[in-house]
Structure 1
Amino acid sequence: MMKWIARIGLAVLALVAVAAIGLMVWEPLAATPGTAPPQREYRAEIVRDEWGVPHIYGRTDADVAYGVAQAHSEDDFFTLQDVIAMTRGRYGAIKGEEGATFDYVLALLGARELVDRQYTTLAPRTRALLEAYATGLNDYAAAHPGEVKLGNMFPVSGQDVATGFALRAPFFFGLNNWVGPLAKGETLLPDPGPKLHGPLPDRVEAENAGSNAFAIAPGRSDDGVTRLVSNSHQPWEGGVAWYELVVESGEGWHYAGANFPGSPFPFLGHNEDLGWTNTVNSPDMVDVYKLVLNDDGTQYRLDGKWLPLEKRRVRLSARFGPLVIPVWRDVYRSVHGPVIVNDNGAYAFRYGGMDRIDQLDAYYALNKAKTYDEWQSILATHAIPGTNFIYADKAGTIAYWYNASLPQRKAGPDWRGVLSGDRSDLVWQSLVPYDDLPHYVNPASGFLFNSNNTPMVAAGKSSNLSTSGFAPEMGIETKMTNRAYRAEKLLDEPGPISRERLERIKYDTGWERVDYVKTVLDGIDGLDTRGDPLLTKAKAIMQGWDLTSDGAGRADALALLVMRPAMGDSYSLKPITPAKKLLTDAAEFLMEHYGRLDPPLQDVLRLRHGKGTGRFAVDLPLDGGSDTLRASTLWDVEPDGRLKVRHGDSFIQFVEWAPGKPVTSQSIQPFGSATTRPDSVHYTDQSALFVQHKLKPVHFTRADALRNAVSRKMVTHRARSD
């Protein structure tokens, strides 16, 4: 009997081992093989300057796009693969449960199916660019098989690249603030804000938690120079971290700026004639509908008729250690749009810009625009669904467009709440005309700015817009940020806005005692701290705060920790956390990790990248706050109690057009061009300048790039005859 038991035990162990091996290897075998782009020849030159920034040259735009993929892969193939995995619904096999969430959203939105339907509607030159870029990724993967994360990931196609845009674009105007709660079965609450609706999102934890932008007309500067400042706040690593590059082709494409992993062209920056930058806006572009289902959940009612609820079963994968677990989920769709079924019912959502991929055409065309009229006509197509655009050019024109694909809603219904899903008259079919969106062109003040605030405040008190011209159902945000209060105050002061003054404004660390800042400070002033020595001392320190986060004051570290959660509440339109809790939590944190309430801010807030013993690792002091113009927005608490910033000031660029002279620009990033290559000198070579508020030159012309080149190489792809 014991022998039989032993044999059974061995058999069970063998089955477990076989199952474990199967869970280790099944995912690449089950994945749909990729499709290589059409075979064409490409030839590009990659010139790297002293900062490792790639300058990519080619005879055609497609040649340049091939070179962009090769250069970016040399610096960050690790992240590029994550983006490709997202487009193929395989990110869970890399990133586990977090990645599987992206794969679910890919299926829910039908992003891949959308691209399959509309890919051939893109301009031929755009498709050529995407396919060249995909070929560059494929060639790098073939030449470096040891870096490939997943089997059967390559080759990738132009459609894969396009799918990345279709998947990620809606999340820049906050679609995740609705999808997340619905998927979790949470109740959707109407916003207390007067012009927004939907759940109460934790916006500050979104990947796009901020940005600043400034444009100064030549008549307001002290030297007749037109200036544009790009000051995006993005994560410092990952799929939406900026990558700087300069591109130039024989077909007239010449642009200096930055893109995200997975893009063949820059998203912001400048060409010879004009430039623009972006800040995230918060338009109400999403409407949620509760559907009425029949008893078996296969149909929904619309205008008294029963229609079939589309249903599709998808396989997701989630990595747990060495094992990859298959997970099956159902995704649904109605005439309204994607549908999420949870314990509370079935909810459809509809959003501006859905079912369109022509933003690929638009961004590419913007890169090559020569005049304001040409540039603005591209935006007017509504192809790019969201984000503010701040513009300047060599002719001295400055402009700001509140770019948003706002639904054309009728007056009357409560668009802030969950709508009835059985009324077709609530299913809007068109967008607010572009010319009806808030915008400014050459305001009398001579300046424009945005700091993720309402577009009604952008040009100073003499030139701001009135809210009276915009209907509530448009859903234009009315909120301000501390950065916006500071920017308007500093820009609106009399006198010319010189380059030096503009730099002071950009790196300003001040706080205005208004809005949530006032609420918190007034709350601290009113605290009764008798009997609590720690809170008494913390209150006294906060009452001596000079309202800056420059690191010079005794209260700066304590204030940093107090204001960060309050900012999150304000951005999320939630009630501000009580002052006593804010102060107590901050004080206890500092005492636990530093043994004092007033450590220097520079000891607490750090720019860290790489392991401490690494050749190019850095650990440098930072300034700024979560809602100051010098932004250190989000951080992780390290084991030693230091705050490692991971989000805030990222790609910064100053662009200038002096009268009768070619465009010039300077830029900086927190780390370097090779952010995932710890053995590269360009892993962190910009960090020291970044923490000192300094910029490096952008070598825009080929002659300048060659004078400052540290490496040159040709990359080629020869078309196969088969």
Structure 2
Amino acid sequence: MLAMRPHAAENTEILWDRYGVPHIYAADRESMFYAHGWSQMRNHADLLLRLYGESRGRAAEYWGGDANLQLDRWVHLNGVPDRARSWYDAQDPRFRKYLDEFARGINDFAARNPAAISPDYRVVLPVTGLDVIQHPLRVVHFGYMGSRARMTNEVNTLLKGQRASGAEEPDELAAGSNTWAIGPARSASGNAMLIINPHLSWGNTFYRYMQVHLVGPDYDQVGAPQVGFPVAVVGFNRHTGWGRTVNTIDTVDFYRLTVEDGQYVFDGALRPFERETHTIKVRQADGTLGEERLDTRRSVHGPVVYDENGTTIAMRVAGLDRPKMLEQWFRMGEARTLEEFQAALRMMSVPMWHANYADDRGHIMFVFDGLVPRRRVRDFQYWAGVVPGDTSETLWTDYLSFDELPKSIDPASGWHQNANEPPWLMTLPQVDRSKYPAYVAPTGQALPQMRTLRSLRMITEGPKITYQQLVAKKHSTRMELADKVLPDLLKAAAGTEAAQVLARWDRLTEADSRGAVLFQMFVDRYFSAANGGMASKLRVPYDPVRPLDSAYGLADPASAAAALSAAADDCRAQYGALDVKWGDVFRFASGTADLPGNGGPGGSGLFRTIAFARREGNKYYAASGETIVCAIEFARKATQRAECLLGYGNATQSGSPHLEDQLPLMAQKKLLPVRREKKEIEANLEMRERF
């Protein structure tokens, strides 16, 4: 296919492989960004334009509806459009040009392929470099971090008089991930290896990933941007790579204000609010546009995000003063050495996520990365709740430096791992948390998710790990919680049919595993938060000094047996048998494909983490969990070995053949070889586009 090329340099081309992955070869970086924007439109045009419309704060204007109006209010309340303009102006001129070219690629695709875009979403066109900045700003700072859901949770906790949880055990549907790095001391080949394995929602949301291969001057990266992002947020080049996990970093604080006579109290004096009025347009059912007035107030902390029944709350979000988040990710992607990667991290503009690094020189590094506010008082637990807003003692204005963040470089253990727990278990022996301020992260004293313990157990098994073992461990469906409590449960329920089924069970959640459904129904009933959670029900409490030799058994076997009996009744009523296959109940679906699933909840100790939360009848479908999975072995004197899979497919656009083509491979726990050389790509070519 030959495309017109008013913006891309001559000889720029996109080689589309058979799984819808674009391999972009560009003569200059501007053209690389242009072709990347074009590529995202081919695979995700409707989703990308919808996300950009939402990030403008104009979703209700374009499409109407209460949900869109709520979203627009949040965008304008937090000043996203104005902040985006200041961020755009603050970019390095060369990098700003890259963003403009990404936008031009989007617009040119739309101009040349109008029929490929749903009429509902054409209203967003044209887009600009400002949109390319504004969307990631909205997603990261007010989607991941300062979200409406988080505000609601914090305020409800305050109003109910509850103590903040400290978020030591992430929700299975919350943004999460796994990542491993294996150094030469642990690697059977002597080469460093890396697992990239983020867990996010599967739907058509801002969490959606797309795999891309970008080749330009001094740039050759395989990575995964979120749709609408012009740069990859995880990935690897021919020398280095990194994975990420959501870290237990507190980048958002909520302040309770004391309001008197329309002003707020701060350090003993009254201060006026900064006030603004916004007009939000709202499309009505008949197609006409109505208007809603939104009056906003800001204290020294940030915008007032809640004001009801005498309770006034302002929100402060870290990183709004660090406009080069996208450039930092780009610099991370081009780094060829540990020192260059560290230099990229020192930009301190990406506000959250662990960075788990490996390279072809055998270095591995793990950093509790992000912008930790430099606080004056108290510990993490204190800051996890709403704090007083009437004193400067709680107002932070700076962040810890890169050198002050918890990290590990080339540890004697030869490995790093994380599954969203606090950073102290990134390797063993544990990182000494006494060297860091108490507000940096939770203490690590509480029972972590069973997924973390499963990760630690697998990475410490055996003296060395081969590449094949790395991939097999990544796909492990063994349930750590079953290993910890099933012996006691079988004794307590001896003689019952349920115990007989569980005794025969392989403790895996493979598609044909029998007994796993029954056990998970028992777990959901007995260890639920509503029933007191897990830690108090274990016979041997969790010991953070001995994480793998504690937290097991049942403290009250009789009550556990009763819960199993009730779970067995439910299982029999829903499925007609206690030994129903896991894959008959838990399913993978994308496009028109509907396949038996494997893996399961991280809370039950599945490293192959899938949250089957979408229910249809008595079946449950994957709604979150495994997204892009990559396994890389770096080598200086040999060819890099790398395999990846994006299970839900590399496209969302209606009619694409890539909505479901990777799902069968996911069901088989297979990865696809990463093809980097043109000859290999051309042998597996679906389409070529030249500019």
**Normalised TM-score (structure 2):** 0.86
Give the structure 1 partner of residue 127 of structure 2. Answer: 156
Give the structure 1 partner of residue 274 of structure 2. Answer: 310
Q: Select the residue among 645, 648, 653 that pairs with 1:676.
A: 653
Cα pair 2:478 2:509 within 8 Å, conserved: yes
Equivalent-residue separation in structure 1 for 2:169 and 2:160 (angstroms): 10
Equivalent-residue separation in structure 2 for 1:236 and 1:159 (angstroms): 27
Percent identity, please.
27
Equivalent-residue separation in structure 2 for 1:143 and 1:565 (angstroms): 55
The structural deviation recorded for 1:692 is: 0.9
Q: Mind listing any 5+ residue stretches in structure 1 that lack a counterpart?
A: 1-38, 531-535, 611-616, 716-722
Which amino acid is 1:560 matched to? Q
After TM superposition, the structure 1 = structure 2 runs for residues 500-511 of structure 1, keeping only pairs within 5 Å, are 500-511=468-479
Q: Are 2:514 and 1:550 equivalent residues in the alignment?
A: no
Equivalent-residue separation in structure 1 for 2:536 and 2:103 (angstroms): 47
Q: Are 2:75 and 1:106 equivalent residues in the alignment?
A: yes
Q: Are 2:138 and 1:167 equivalent residues in the alignment?
A: yes
The structural deviation recorded for 1:653 is: 0.7
After TM superposition, the structure 1 = structure 2 runs for residues 596-675 of structure 1, keeping only pairs within 5 Å, are 596-610=577-591, 617-627=592-602, 628-639=606-617, 641-675=618-652
Cα pair 1:560 1:625 within 8 Å, conserved: no
Q: Select the residue among 695, 699, 705 that pairs with 2:671.
A: 695
Equivalent-residue separation in structure 2 for 1:563 and 1:256 (angstroms): 39
Q: Are 2:192 and 1:245 equivalent residues in the alignment?
A: no
Q: Are 2:159 and 1:187 equivalent residues in the alignment?
A: yes
The structural deviation recorded for 1:457 is: 0.8
Equivalent-residue separation in structure 2 for 1:541 and 1:322 (angstroms): 59
Q: Select the residue among 63, 67, 76 that pairs with 2:35.
A: 67
The structural deviation recorded for 1:511 is: 2.6
Equivalent-residue separation in structure 2 for 1:42 and 1:573 (angstroms): 59
Compare 542-551 and 391-400 and name the one that shifted more.
Answer: 542-551
Compare 314-323 and 106-115 and name the one that shifted more.
Answer: 314-323
RMSD across aligned positions (CA)? 3.3
Compare 370-379 and 176-185 and name the one that shifted more.
Answer: 176-185
The structural deviation recorded for 1:456 is: 0.8
Q: Residues 101 and 489 of structure 1: is their aligned pair in 2 closer, same or farther, counting only changes over 3 Å?
A: same
Equivalent-residue separation in structure 1 for 2:74 and 2:487 (angstroms): 41
Compare 393-402 and 485-494 and name the one that shifted more.
Answer: 485-494
Cα pair 2:13 2:690 within 8 Å, conserved: yes
The structural deviation recorded for 1:714 is: 1.7
Q: Secondary structure at the match of 1:314?
A: strand
Equivalent-residue separation in structure 2 for 1:219 and 1:185 (angstroms): 46
Equivalent-residue separation in structure 2 for 1:396 and 1:707 (angstroms): 32
Cα pair 1:666 1:697 within 8 Å, conserved: yes
Q: Residues 50 and 145 of structure 1: is their aligned pair in 2 closer, same or farther, counting only changes over 3 Å?
A: closer
Compare 173-182 and 68-77 and name the one that shifted more.
Answer: 173-182
Cα pair 2:177 2:199 within 8 Å, conserved: yes
Give the structure 1 partner of residue 546 of structure 2. Answer: none
Which amino acid is 2:393 matched to? D
Q: Mind listing any 5+ residue stretches in structure 2 that lack a counterpart?
A: 1-5, 538-558
Equivalent-residue separation in structure 2 for 1:579 and 1:325 (angstroms): 57
Q: Residues 568 and 338 of structure 1: is their aligned pair in 2 closer, same or farther, counting only changes over 3 Å?
A: farther
The structural deviation recorded for 1:526 is: 6.9
Q: Residues 585 and 285 of structure 1: is their aligned pair in 2 closer, same or farther, counting only changes over 3 Å?
A: farther
Cα pair 2:511 2:584 within 8 Å, conserved: no
Larger C-alpha radius of gyration, 1 or 2?
1
Q: Residues 592 and 459 of structure 1: is their aligned pair in 2 closer, same or farther, counting only changes over 3 Å?
A: same
Give the structure 1 partner of residue 402 of structure 2. Answer: 434
Which amino acid is 2:270 matched to? W
Give the structure 2 partner of residue 34 of structure 1. Answer: none
Which amino acid is 1:621 matched to? P
Equivalent-residue separation in structure 1 for 2:630 and 2:399 (angstroms): 33
Cα pair 1:408 1:428 within 8 Å, conserved: yes
Which amino acid is 1:690 matched to? M
The structural deviation recorded for 1:378 is: 1.6
The structural deviation recorded for 1:452 is: 0.9
Q: Select the residue among 295, 301, 318 that pairs with 1:336.
A: 301
Which amino acid is 1:694 matched to? K
Cα pair 1:42 1:66 within 8 Å, conserved: no
Q: Residues 464 and 284 of structure 1: is their aligned pair in 2 closer, same or farther, counting only changes over 3 Å?
A: same
Cα pair 1:224 1:659 within 8 Å, conserved: no
The structural deviation recorded for 1:675 is: 3.2
Equivalent-residue separation in structure 1 for 2:109 and 2:625 (angstroms): 31
Equivalent-residue separation in structure 1 for 2:615 and 2:562 (angstroms): 19
The structural deviation recorded for 1:192 is: 5.6
Q: Residues 439 and 332 of structure 1: is their aligned pair in 2 closer, same or farther, counting only changes over 3 Å?
A: same
After TM superposition, the structure 1 = structure 2 runs for residues 92-131 of structure 1, keeping only pairs within 5 Å, are 92=60, 93-94=62-63, 96-131=65-100
Equivalent-residue separation in structure 2 for 1:503 and 1:650 (angstroms): 15
Q: Select the residue among 359, 363, 384 that pairs with 2:329.
A: 363
Equivalent-residue separation in structure 2 for 1:384 and 1:585 (angstroms): 47
Give the structure 1 partner of residue 683 of structure 2. Answer: 707
Give the structure 1 partner of residue 191 of structure 2. Answer: 225
Which amino acid is 2:364 matched to? I
Q: Secondary structure at the match of 1:391?
A: strand
Q: Select the residue among 151, 169, 173 that pairs with 1:205.
A: 173
The structural deviation recorded for 1:513 is: 3.8
The structural deviation recorded for 1:546 is: 4.9
Equivalent-residue separation in structure 1 for 2:570 and 2:65 (angstroms): 31
The structural deviation recorded for 1:254 is: 1.3
Equivalent-residue separation in structure 2 for 1:644 and 1:318 (angstroms): 34
Q: Secondary structure at the match of 1:472?
A: coil
The structural deviation recorded for 1:672 is: 2.5
Q: Select the residue among 344, 349, 356 that pairs with 1:378.
A: 344
The structural deviation recorded for 1:288 is: 1.8
The structural deviation recorded for 1:144 is: 3.8
After TM superposition, the structure 1 = structure 2 runs for residues 293-304 of structure 1, keeping only pairs within 5 Å, are 293-295=259-261, 297=262, 299-304=263-268
Q: Residues 229 and 497 of structure 1: is their aligned pair in 2 closer, same or farther, counting only changes over 3 Å?
A: same
Give the structure 2 partner of residue 275 of structure 1. Answer: 241
Which amino acid is 2:315 matched to? F
After TM superposition, the structure 1 = structure 2 runs for residues 393-432 of structure 1, keeping only pairs within 5 Å, are 393-412=359-378, 414-432=382-400
Equivalent-residue separation in structure 1 for 2:79 and 2:502 (angstroms): 51
Equivalent-residue separation in structure 1 for 2:274 and 2:376 (angstroms): 28
Compare 686-695 and 96-105 and name the one that shifted more.
Answer: 96-105
Compare 679-688 and 319-328 and name the one that shifted more.
Answer: 319-328
Q: Deviations over 1:449-507 (max 9, x none)?
A: 111112111223xx321222223222346252212101111211232111222122111
The structural deviation recorded for 1:190 is: 5.6
Q: Deviations over 1:43-93 (max 9, x none)?
A: 631111122211112221121111111112111112101211112112344
Q: Select the residue among 101, 112, 119 that pairs with 1:143.
A: 112
